Structure 1
């Protein structure tokens, strides 16, 4: 059941209907039955119909939970946890507002995806027989496809807006993308691109925005598989503006760096923290000033076992104004954080020397690899004579130049002044990587086999909803140090065995709960 608002074009009145979905066995499709329950006045306030003003009250009505109509016992402990999470995070309320007709089905499928680790939705009917869940009825494969088809872009954006408003203000939002391989040959956005898991299949890309303090995702966008990270920032900023999310702080890796993107972030008054290559000219200028003296006691941090240095620099800002046909040029303040990690420097040096050993061996043995020709020419002088054969001499100046930046890395920000706070904020970005892991592994999104655009869009949204629950559970388990005793699956299994009993004319009765289970709920 859910409320549907229908404007009357003739008189301008918006009528409110109570809509109930049901499955038409003859037509084999979802149908709905609507009953008018009132209308909205000029200020948008609800005015109930006269029928509701004087309702007929059953003489034997009972207070409390709605009595059961069937005899059934089912597993309830884990879904009860999800119900509580959905209420506390506003997920249930927001889904009900955005998808009044199908929000319970969305929740039930999300619950199934979490509990039935990596299993196909074709197993939902079996799961339905043993579990209590929001929808309370079976959702066969065809019905789940219909649900995915009915999830509109407008409703999704409204959900992102509502969830974004619930997130903590002034926190940094981690932004990243991942690649999802696909077998489909009919989806328009499935393209060959840079696959982050080196999968040879074509792919789509998925961008995700994740609150670092809340530990929760609240926005995603599907991208064509051949779109690079650096090209996504412009549309991200446009989406943030459309969603009305207010003040924004973003943390991104160096794949998103470009002069255009930095200018766009300044232009949109977005606070940012971003990794960048140390080879960039403006970074090299500052790095050369501190390269030989950054390793001092004053710059050392024992927690992270590295040295850091921060300088305030000026960013050469430019903004094109097409409507005036000119370019604004100015400077903007930027903090450049430079770090040196001796362990990383040694690791990079050893890896580099191992590569040089392979190249030299291939040259001397005459077993050259065509893919290494550029590297041969870059790092070695090669001479071949009839008497002496092939001689190989390393270009030490080139090698030394390549090694000089080993162990150094850099972050830039227009807000964070302290290098260690910047480092900690950036390292929290791994929440996104773990979220991608949950999507691909636990929520069965490593490879998608859907054949229609609408099915893919809808399924991605439901998996995203499931990801919010998983992220919240993960955060709580980390805070309470529950990972010392449980994996996430073990914790859910511990709760999932709690049963609920339904009998006609009686309220729901919950089975026995152990002290250990009570402790998990209160955690």
Structure 2
């Protein structure tokens, strides 16, 4: 392979770094001779010395892509070219690989090889072998407690990585800036297809369990990419908000799907949007597992209608809810020692309830017996006596602090004022104001502490659901 021709080069030191510049000579009419014109930075020398391997800037590599296939090293006034292989390493580096830390990255290589991640990355980011760069950066983030990206170069010098060539922080930023939504969709699409293919290959007929969660946050990073209205936080930050929803494959912990939604959309409704996209996701033989906040009737009905399995954590604190009705009906049974599971150490009962839903929801359609379908849902009710006792003890301690402050004439904070209103009775006699604890209000506040409820269309065993 013929070496590319270097442009005229200067090396100048700034701080502790030697930067590499190129320049063009211009004709000086007054002196009637050529002189050095304006210079342009094209990279830096790694290692902090004047001699060493040049890390070229991405802008230079875009203009002169032939330099991507070579390592260029400055030795005195000479520049040594060494061809790079597909992984961005030289033959010398391959011979010295035994001197690099490789145990942890070898283990990660095996995990990647056994999962669809590597193949999905390769399909989504084939240009300039970006998939190897992304994988190497991921290794760095996983293996370093302090994963400040400025420390990547030092890490890469002593660690065997999928991409062996150096990556400056600016190069890493460019790798991520180039990522487009279509590439992300390609990655997740290939990942899902590969996962389903693996399942079929090994004859695994179990459902794929997907952990589902979402979070709201400020979207200042992609403020210019999404057309979001601005909302105010309580601290008056005027920043746009998003809901980020993710599905994670339970066995591997690897992200299966994610989507950003407008911050005005409640978390529970984002699930409906994911379900409505099911045709594009090709989700088959899966079970959604989620924390509280997603178990409303609409999400349950949407899952049933789209034949998506689910295991939802149910809100038990909602006053006069169906969950509280079930708990009230089983309170005595949930204190029977025969109901305590020896493995989970909690009391548990499963209620099979016939659930009716619209099997084929059409806008404007009049509901009738013909449009409805029914199925059995498993409502698993749990009672943890220790949690209930801890909640009672904690409440009593908070009540005592309020009483002590009232006795000493001290000002109550916001939380204490709320507790004063929730569980105390106020008495006024002339100019005198006094407070007594309402045992009824305390009992009501503790009524559903220690209880948990899970609902599923698939999982009938309470222990397995837990």
TM-score (norm: length of structure 1): 0.61
Q: Give the distance between the partners of 1:67 and 1:294, measured in 2 at CA.
A: 67
Q: Separation in 2 of the partners of 1:260 and 1:361?
A: 47
Alpha-carbon distance between aligned partners in 2 of 1:166 and 1:26, rounded to the nearest angstrom:
33
Mapped contact 1:177–1:208 kept (Cα < 8 A): yes
Taking a change above 3 Å as real, the CA distance of residues 190 and 353 of structure 1, as seen in their structure-2 partners, is farther
Q: Which residue of 2 aligns with 1:408?
A: 451
Gap change, CA 1:176 and 1:32, over 3 Å in 2: farther
Report deviation, 1:137.
1.3
Matches within 5 A, 1:237-386: 237-278=275-316, 279=318, 281-318=321-358, 321=361, 323-327=363-367, 328-364=371-407, 365=409, 367-369=411-413, 373=417, 375-386=419-430
Check 1:265–1:75 CA distance in 2 against 1; reply closer, same or farther (3 A cut). Answer: same
Residues 127/369 of structure 1: CA separation in 2 closer, same or farther (3 Å cut) = closer
CA distance in 1, matches of 2:360, 2:310: 21
Q: CA deviation at 1:421?
A: 1.3
Residue 186 of structure 1: how far off its partner (Å): 4.8
CA drift at 1:366? 6.5
Equivalent residues of 1:184, 1:190 under 8 A apart: no
Q: 1:329 to 1:351 in 2, by over 3 A?
A: farther
**Is 1:138 matched with 2:178?**
no
| Per-residue deviation, 1:192 | 6.9
2:247 aligns to what SS in structure 1?
strand
Question: For the residues of structure 2 that align with 1:320 and 1:314, how far apart are their CA atoms?
Answer: 18
Give me the whole-angstrom Cα distance separating, in 2, the residues matched to 1:265 and 1:246: 12
Displacement of 1:237 after TM fit?
Answer: 1.8
Q: Give, in whole Å, the separation in 1 of the partners of 2:162 and 2:287.
A: 35
- Which ranges in structure 1 are unaligned for 5 or more consecutive residues? 1-22, 35-65, 424-523
For the 8 Å contact 2:232–2:238, the answer to whether it is kept is no
CA contact (8 A) 2:355 2:374 kept: yes
* Separation in 1, partners of 2:215, 2:58: 43
Query: Partner residue of 2:79?
Result: none
Aligned-pair Cα RMSD in Å: 3.6
1:129–1:404 distance in 2 versus 1, CA, 3 Å = closer
Query: Secondary structure of the residue that 2:91 maps to in structure 1?
Result: coil
Contact 2:121/2:131 (8 A) holds in 1 = yes
* Alignment match of 1:397 (pick from 440, 443, 447): 440
Q: CA deviation at 1:72?
A: 4.9
Q: 1:214 and 1:143, CA in 2 relative to 1: closer, same or farther beyond 3 A?
A: closer
Alignment partners' CA distance in 1, 2:231 and 2:148: 26
1:93 to partner: Cα distance: 2.4
Measured at CA, do residues 111 and 192 of structure 1 come closer, stay the same or move farther in structure 2, by a change above 3 Å? farther
1:147 equivalent in structure 2:
175
* CA deviations over 1:5-36 (Å, ceiling 9, x no partner): xxxxxxxxxxxxxxxxxx986953536969xx
Change (3 A) 1:31 1:351: farther
Distance in structure 2 (CA, Å) of the matches to 1:185 and 1:92: 27
1:320 and 1:84, CA in 2 relative to 1: closer, same or farther beyond 3 A? closer
What's the CA shift string for 1:90-111, capped at 9, x where partnerless?
3222211221112122122222
* CA drift at 1:290: 1.7
Is the 1:193–1:227 Cα contact (8 Å) retained in structure 2?
Answer: no
Alignment of 1:411-426 (within 5 A): 411-423=454-466
The 3 A distance-change label for structure 1 pair 185 and 252 is closer
Matched, 1:158 2:186: yes
Could you tell me how far 1:264 is from its partner in structure 2? 1.3
Give the SS at the match of 1:134. Answer: coil
Match of 1:171 in 2: 208
Instruction: Give the number of aligned pairs.
Output: 366
Query: C-alpha separation between the residues in 1 aligned to 2:259 and 2:302?
Result: 19
Q: Within 1, Cα distance between the matches of 2:153 and 2:229?
A: 31
Flag the structure with larger Rg: 2
Query: How far does the alpha carbon of each residue in 1:404-459 deviate from its partner, in whole angstroms, 9 at most, with x for none?
Result: 22222211111211111111xxxxxxxxxxxxxxxxxxxxxxxxxxxxxxxxxxxx
Aligned-pair distance for 1:261?
A: 1.5
CA distance in 1, matches of 2:140, 2:280: 32
Name 1:216's counterpart in structure 2.
254
State the match for 1:75 in structure 2.
100
Q: Following the alignment from structure 2 to structure 1, what is the Cα–Cα distance between the partners of residues 268 and 161?
A: 41
The Cα shift of 1:287 comes to 2.0
Within a 5 Å distance, the mapping from 1:494-509 to structure 2 comes to none
